[in-house]
Every structure is written in C-alpha cells, then in structure tokens.
Amino acid sequence: MKNKFLHPIFFVLALVITLSSFSQSKRFFAVTGDQFGSVNWITFREFNPGAKTPMRTLYVPAQGNETVYDALSGEQFISNNESAVASAPAAAPQACGCLNKRMVAAIAYDAKNNRLYYTQMLGNQLRYLDLNSTDVRSYAVTTQLLKNFPGQPGEASVITRMVIASDNNGYALTNDNEHLIRFTTGRQASVTDLGRLVDAESNGENSVRTQFKSWGGDLIADANGNLYLFTMQRLVYKINPKTKLATYLGQIKNIPEDYTVNAAMADNDAYVVVGSSTKTTNYYRVNLNTLEGEAIISKTAQVYNVSDFANESLAFNKANDNSGVVAKDLRTTTVGVYPNPAPDGKLTIQFGNFTPGKYVVQIADMQGKAVLQKELKIAGSQTEGIFVSSLSTGTYLLRVVDQDGKNLYTRNVVIGK
C-alpha cells in the first residue's frame, strides 16, 4: 500500500493487460484510489484495452463544494450536503474514521444510455456520470432519494453493491441486506425500496443476514433476470429480485483467506472477474457453476486495488457468448502464492491450467542463488505446500520452472518468523 513512487502508467498498463483477455466487453470501469495503492475511493476510471488511449480518468469529485447537475432540469448546483434533494434527507449513517463524503464503492454501467451510475458511501443520492461527451459531468436525481430510510450506526446502511440488470433497471443493496433498491434509468428516474433479502431454506447457517460476513462486495446480473451477490468474505448468493429470495451458493474456492472481494464484473458465460480493495497482487476469475477461482497473473508486479468494477456484460449471456475465443486465452497457466508474507513457515502455491508434466518450484535469495527447491508433478490445476521454516527471515525470489528449464513464473516472497 506504500508503493506510491512508481510511475502510474506502469499500473494502468497492468490493469489493462491483466483483464483485456478476460472480458467479453472490452470496456469496463473501476473506482480506485486517487493514486495507486490508495484506499481513498474517489477516482472513476475507464479502461478500454482496444482504444488508442487504454485508460482515462473520468471524474474526481471536488474536495470541497462539488458542481453537480440536476438530472431532470440540467441545472447545476453546488453540493456538499445533498441539500438539493426536494424531500427531507434521510438520517445519514454514522461516519467512521475510514470513510469520507466523496468515497464510492458502488457503480453500475448503463450501456443503453452510456451512463455510469453511482452513490457515495455516506450519501443518499442516486447519481450518474454522463459519458456521452468528453466533458464528463455528474448528475443527481433530485426528485427522490436513493436511500429514503434512517441510516443505521456504523456501515450497515452504506450501499456498496450496484448493477444494471437484464431488465434495464438498476439495483443497489445496503451492507446489511435490509434494502434492495431498484431504480429506473430513464430521463426521470423512479426509485423503489423493495425491502430486505429473504433467506432460502437451504441457507442454514449461511444466512444472507449474518452481520459483517455477508457485507460488502458487489452485485452482478445474469441474462435470466437474476442477481448474484459476492460478499467481501467471498460468499456467493443468487438473488431473485422479484421475490428477494437469496440462495446461498457457497464460498469462492482457491482464493487466499485474506483476499477480500470488493469488486466484481460478469465475464464470458459463467465467469466473473473479482478484485480487492486492499490487495494489489492480482485479480481472480471465478466460475459461477463451480465457484472455483483462479488467479489472473498480471504482467507487472502489482495491479490496481479497486472498490468496484462495472461493465455491460451479463452472466450466461449466450447471445453474446464469445467463449470460443476467450476460452483459448483462459488456458493460460496461472500461479497463485499465499500467504505472502509467510509468517508460519509454509507457502501455499496454487497452479491452474498446467500441461501435465514435471515442474520445479525454486526459492532463491535476492542475488539469484537457489536456497530451496521442490520437484512436483502437476496436471491441470492443483495446490501444493512448500515448507520454508529453514530459511532466514527476509525477501526471496520464488520461481516455477518447467522440465525444459523455462522460467514460467517469478515473484518476490517474504519469509517471516
């Protein structure tokens, strides 16, 4: 989180290159910190790997009074307290020390109108960025509040999940899952609080209403009218927005326990790309049918940590399925290493899509001298443990080498005691 002195374009390319092969819709959006590694989630960015300019900063809200435009009249107003809303503001959620009024963790891309909808974490308004001109402006719905209910203490009432579904309506969800909110995306938006999510009988102890465990994360939508909730703790629920029934599908597999899922966007068919708001190691690709996750290896040492993703893709969208092309790219071998740092004398290495054969995991000091190695037989995807308790505390190079001596993967690892 302290690598603030490396050139920003390096990390722009990291994010673009990392995800360009995985999204059937090349254009996608993210909310990031104001600089790489920052957790001040205020910067809206657009990524388009096929464009001449692969990344552009869309919008950064002003630190003081912010110029916002009325979505209905087009008139501008200065707002730092959302006082332009016609009805009385709902009670704001209790602020915590980690949030500020500009921070955003919920965005949704409306491809029909070319708008990026959002709401501020400590705000009550529904807003959107109009992307139809180079002068990107923020518009606010002033006829209705997005959150027209008293806020709960802490972050329970904060909206951290949002998506545009197959019915062309937007859906937003509070952390505590007490309020599933639907909004229309026409000229005059209509906001409806559908109420709390309801547990399916099969959920058992994995209730969608479990405090904190089912908070955070993101929403995606599929082509059949369903929503999917990815929580911060890597739980996945399928939601019927008509009945508000939430069915627990399971927990994402093969992702480190300390990797929080804060952003998600649909990819080809059953695949979803997820990112973390704090981890800069890599992103993961998750199969909705199996909940198997695999690391998407970046071309650089780190990637942007993000509070939310958005694109126009829907899961299981056969009409726009590009899996014949994308599947070829997805056969790229992947490697994940965790925990890093490794305080307990053991590294876990996750291999994905490996051609069957013999491989060597080698750990070398920073001068390149091998200090430990292990030969493995790998076929497809599997997880292996490497004991490193014999090594002194410090930073090492971990390499994965094939039987021909070709280096497939290199990464710095930190060994602790």
Q: Indicate the residue among 332, 361, 379 that finishes a domain.
A: 332
Tokens of 220: 């995606």
Q: Going residue by residue through the chain, which has 417 residues, state the pLDDT in tens, using 9 for 90 and above.
A: 333 333 444 444 445 545 554 544 578 999 998 777 788 889 999 988 766 777 789 999 887 788 999 999 999 987 665 444 444 444 444 444 567 888 999 999 999 999 999 999 999 999 999 999 888 999 999 999 999 998 888 899 999 999 999 999 999 999 999 999 999 998 889 999 999 999 999 999 999 999 999 999 999 999 999 999 999 999 999 999 999 999 999 999 999 999 999 999 998 889 999 999 988 888 899 999 999 998 886 555 567 789 999 999 999 987 554 443 333 333 456 777 878 788 778 888 878 768 888 999 999 998 888 999 999 998 877 888 889 989 999 899 888 988 888 888 888 888 886
User: Which of 332, 364, 390 is a domain's end point?
Assistant: 332
Q: Could you please report the per-residue DSSP string of 367-396?
A: TS-EEEEEEEEEEEEEEEEEE-TTSPSEEE
Q: Give the residue from 298, 332, 366 where a domain finishes.
A: 332
User: Does residue 1 lie in a domain region?
Assistant: no
Backbone conformation region of residue 302, classed left if phi is above 0, alpha if psi is from -120 to 50, else beta: beta
Q: Domain range for residue 349?
A: 335-415
Domain CATH number, residue 398: 2.60.40.3080
For residue 3, being part of any structural domain is answered with no
Q: Are strands 198-199 and 245-251 parallel, antiparallel or unpaired?
A: parallel
Is residue 159 assigned to a domain? Answer: yes
Residue 392 is assigned to a structural domain of this protein: yes
Q: Are residues 327 and 391 in the same domain?
A: no
* Tokens at 37, concatenated: 């590694």
With contact defined as beta carbons under 8 Å apart, do 398 and 337 qualify? yes
Same domain, yes or no: 27 and 107: yes
